Amino acid sequence: MIWNKEMECMDRQAMERLQLTRLRETVSQAYERIPFYRGALDKKGVKAADIHTLADLQLLPFTTKQDLREQYPYGLFAVPLKEVVRVHGSSGTTGKPIVVGYTRNDMDTWTEALARLITQATVGPEDITQIAFGYGLFTGGFGLHYGMERVGATVVPMSSGNSEKQIMLMRDFGTTALVSTPSYALHLAEVAKNMGVDPKTDLRVRVGLFGGEPCSPGMEAAIHDLWGMRVTDNYGLTEVGGPGVSGDCGMGEGQHICEDFYLTEIIDPDTGAPLPYGEEGELVITTLRKEACPVLRYRTRDITRLMPEPCPCGRTTLRMRKIRGRSDDMLIIKGVNVFPSQIEVALAEVTGATMYYQMIVTKRGYTDALEIKVELEPAFFSDDFRKLKEIERNILRVLKRVVGIECKITLVSPQTMERTTGKSKRVLDLREF
């Protein structure tokens, strides 16, 4: 089912016309109401009237996370606070949080975007949906909550953590949809097993709406195996309003972008130059419908590709590939670019290895060294040194092929790597630059 056929299946030319109109409105609103943007636009000598085609987007200045931090807390608000009905903040732990505000209309737009993604994940009024994203400043809990209510699903607002209770309620309430980070879904499956509950046969969860962190194909497969559920990957970020930028239609062909609300481009992260459709680079987002916090050309740091081809699901909106990593968490190890998601792809191929891992990067003299700690599957934990060595060799072989680097593998006992209820941290970079 398609939630809003008019928008999601709109003819491309009509969509681009609508985007152009909204882009001009957004630029003039930012110029008139936000001193930061007036300064940045004046510096470039650009006004809304200079935007004649969507390609003129490139005339506009970029916005960075640093810009948003410096305007803490309300510097980028385009409306008086009395019109703001909600604020949210970024989930990062370093520095000041990014603050975003929502007017009543913004709440409505946000909820509409979520309703579309939820519907394409096949969730509707028949579903009982357990939201295990944090409720609070983080946009995940409340964002999905309102979207779920809009489509008529029954919401169980569990928030994150309290894992045994999550499983108990899933069983007692007959939960059919789980909303969480993908790493928490993996952890919940383990908790269930320890309680003697097989998520596949003893629970009714048939679909997961995941997001908030990368969900590699390997992780998707692991979740599917443990839960027997359909796995959907949904993308968004606080700076442009939270979840609701794009979502999975189940065709395995990338995530549909809510294009009437967001204008997307791909740039070369080093030069800032625009890249054509199909090429991998950094995603840049301009909001088209935000009243409280419009954002021009936000540099997300997320690495992906845009796909304009029509999708078999019938939606005509542009799609983005799964996020492959971030330009700022891409590691360069001995000159090779390495994304944590590649490690996951490799681990998924090796029998006996789990998705729980940590990359530790150090420097020995002038040379980078990478160690990857990998947690073993309980069934493969043994005293037999030869068996363990074989798993280690298999991981190294696959890593060499997938990532092209040599590293040290340290196998660790089952249940010893840290579990998270929210976003996981996979990299420890101890090099001094």
342 is a site residue for ligand DLL (CB under 6 A): no
Residue 211 interacts with ligand DLL (CB under 6 A)?
Answer: yes
Beta bridge partners of 332: 337
Q: Which two tokens stand for residue 116?
A: 């579309």
Q: Which residue has the tokens 């309430």?
A: 173
**From 19, 120, 176, 238, residue interacting with ligand DLL (rule: CB under 6 A):** 238
Collapse the DSSP code of 204 into the 3-class scheme (helix H, G, I; strand E, B; otherwise coil) and give the result: coil
Contact range with ligand DLL by CB under 6 A, out of 153-161, 206-214, 272-280, 389-397: 206-214
**Inter-axis angle of helices 182-194 and 163-173, to 10 degrees?**
80
Cα dist from 185 to 30, 196, 199, 202, 215, whole Å: 40, 17, 11, 16, 11
Minimum gap (Å) between residue 264 Cβ and ligand DLL: 13
Cβ at position 336, least distance to ligand DLL in Å: 21
- Residue partners of 297: CB distance under 8 A and separation at least 6: 57, 60, 61, 62, 63, 265, 284, 285, 286
353 contacts 376 by C-beta, under 8 angstroms: yes
- The yes or no reply on residue 180 touching ligand DLL (CB under 6 A) is no
Distances (CA, A) of 182 to 11, 165, 412: 34, 18, 22
Nearer to ligand DLL, 41 or 257 (CB): 257
Q: Which of 8, 213, 260, 375 binds ligand DLL (CB under 6 A)?
A: 213
Q: Residue count at the site for ligand DLL (CB under 6 A)?
A: 23
Return the number of the residue (208 or 242) whose C-beta is nearest ligand DLL: 242
Residue 340 touches ligand DLL, criterion: CB under 6 A: no
Query: At 216, is the secondary structure helix, strand, or coil?
Result: coil
Which one of residues 77, 146, 235, 356 is an interface residue with ligand DLL (CB under 6 A)? 235
* Minimum distance of ligand DLL from residue 213's CB (angstroms): 5
Nearest distance from C-beta of residue 295 to ligand DLL, angstroms = 12
By CB under 6 A, tell whether 247 contacts ligand DLL: no
Task: Choose the binding region for ligand DLL from 64-72, 116-124, 236-244, 355-363 (rule: CB under 6 A).
Answer: 236-244
Backbone angles phi, psi at 374, to 5 degrees: -125, 130
317 binds ligand DLL (CB under 6 A): no
SS3 107: helix
Nearer Cβ to ligand DLL, position 41 or 359?
A: 359
- Work out which of 236, 269, 340, 352 binds ligand DLL, going by CB under 6 A: 236
Interacting residue with ligand DLL among 101, 199, 214, 254 (CB under 6 A): 214
Phi, psi of 84 (to 5 degrees): -90, 125
Q: How far is the CB of 282 from ligand DLL (least distance, A)?
A: 11
Residue 314: partners with Cβ closer than 8 Å, 6 or more residues away:
2, 9
Residues that bind ligand DLL (CB under 6 A): 90-91, 133, 138-140, 211-215, 233-238, 242-243, 300, 302, 323, 326
